[in-house]
């Protein structure tokens, strides 16, 4: 049994609170940026423009993640508390909304630069599990997105929530959606699938959504939504949609791999 009573604030700089979740975003983006530039960006044209693309990417993640949470998970509350939409520091970000934001920002950047947007999205997909890993660890430290009650030996008590023994679902997700997914995508990268724009993005959406769908069974549903149709959570319903989208990309992105 592990007792979780971490302070969600990593440290304080004068009157400014630096939270674990903010650090997770910063560290995930920085590591992903470095790996993209040093290892995965084999297309020199994309490499040159990638630094400019990062600005679009960050905006897509923040705006998409926030609006996704507002519209998908807690619309009733925000309709009567419109100014709270801007209070990102209070929490409330949707991963699926962030993915939608990344897609939209990539399409805009690709259109402006007359590039195939999938060049950028595929590289982001390769490094995204790193950010997911740090994000889920931050969820654990913040005592949020916690699991259902259980009696397994590795159960965790989230003191800031209640006194019940729960699955550390955040750590399950950090392992499968972060580490395992990263290894899977590296396998497809070594198979030269980065040369088929859209394939890596498809594999990312498919495998992430499979893991997310399964792990949602160990995660407590959002209190304001509960369980929905067929006893699924909102996360599972959206994951089914993303599984279909990912599988479609895998099946239909069949451009010929260019020879070295």
- Give 44-65 pLDDT, tens digit per residue: 667 778 889 999 999 999 999 9
**CB-based contacts of 243, cutoff 8 Å, min separation 6:** 205, 206, 209, 210, 213
pTM > 0.85: yes or no: yes
The answer, yes or no, to whether residue 260 has pLDDT greater than 80, is no
Strand ranges (E), 127-227 = 156-158, 165-166
Q: How high is the pLDDT of residue 258?
A: 43
The span from the CA of 112 to the CA of 98, in Å, is 21
Using the Cα atoms of residue 78, residue 83, residue 84 and residue 89 in order, give the sign of their dihedral.
positive
Count of other CB atoms within 10 angstroms of residue 59: 15
The span from the CA of 224 to the CA of 149, in Å, is 18
User: Percentage of residues in the chain with pLDDT exceeding 70?
Assistant: 95
How many Cα atoms within 13 Å fall on the side-chain side of residue 125? 30
Q: What is the pLDDT of residues 69-100, one digit of tens each?
A: 999 998 989 999 999 898 877 778 899 999 99
Mean pLDDT value across residues 194-214 = 95
More confident residue, 220 or 256: 220
């Amino acid at each position: 049994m592990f007792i979780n009573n971490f302070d969600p604030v990593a440290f304080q700089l004068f009157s400014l609170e630096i939270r674990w979740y903010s650090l997770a975003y910063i560290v995930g983006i920085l590591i992903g940026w470095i790996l993209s530039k040093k290892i995965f960006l084999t297309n020199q044209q994309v490499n040159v423009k990638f630094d400019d693309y990062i600005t679009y990417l960050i905006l897509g993640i923040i705006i998409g993640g926030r609006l996704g949470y507002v519209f998908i998970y807690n619309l009733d509350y925000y309709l009567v508390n419109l100014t709270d939409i801007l209070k990102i520091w209070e929490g409330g970000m949707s991963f699926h909304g962030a993915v939608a934001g990344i897609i939209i920002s990539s399409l805009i950047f690709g259109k402006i630069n007359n590039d195939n947007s999938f060049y950028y999205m595929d590289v982001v997909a390769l490094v995204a599990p790193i950010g997911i890993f740090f994000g889920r660890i931050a969820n654990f430290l913040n005592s949020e997105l916690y699991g259902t009650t259980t009696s397994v030996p590795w159960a965790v008590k989230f003191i800031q929530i209640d006194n019940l023994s729960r699955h550390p679902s955040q750590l399950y997700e950090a392992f499968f959606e972060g580490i395992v997914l990263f290894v899977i995508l590296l396998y497809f990268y070594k198979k030269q699938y980065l040369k088929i724009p859209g394939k890596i993005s498809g594999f990312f959406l498919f495998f992430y959504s499979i893991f997310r769908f399964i792990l949602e069974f160990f995660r407590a549903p959002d209190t304001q939504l509960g369980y929905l149709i067929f006893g699924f959570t909102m996360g599972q319903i959206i994951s089914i949609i993303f599984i279909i989208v990912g599988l479609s990309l895998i099946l239909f992105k069949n451009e010929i791999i260019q020879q070295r």
